[in-house]
Amino acid sequence: MKKVLAIVLALLSSVYLLNPTAGIFELLPDNIPFLGNVDEGLAAYILYSCIEYLSGKPIGLFRQR
């Protein structure tokens, strides 16, 4: 069940980052100072975490397990 959730979250976050509709599905508009890119950063973090979970090993430079 967790693997399916990780796959779905990875797909949703990658679609959000690719944003083929040029900003129609923006959660926070990019023209808001200091907050405009928070949603893209969160989507990138979710995608990164899902890829790390699905691969089963740390992929960050400073991660140790």
Banded pLDDT at 20 (limits 50, 70, 90)? low
Q: Please give the model's pTM, rounded to 2 decimal places.
A: 0.74
Q: Domain coordinates of the chain in residue numbers?
A: 2-55
pLDDT of residue 34: 76
Q: Is a pLDDT exceeding 80 seen at residue 58?
A: no
Tell me the per-residue pLDDT of 21-42, one tens digit each, with 9 for 90 and over.
566 666 667 677 777 778 888 8
CA distance 42 to 6: 15
CA distance 32 to 39: 12
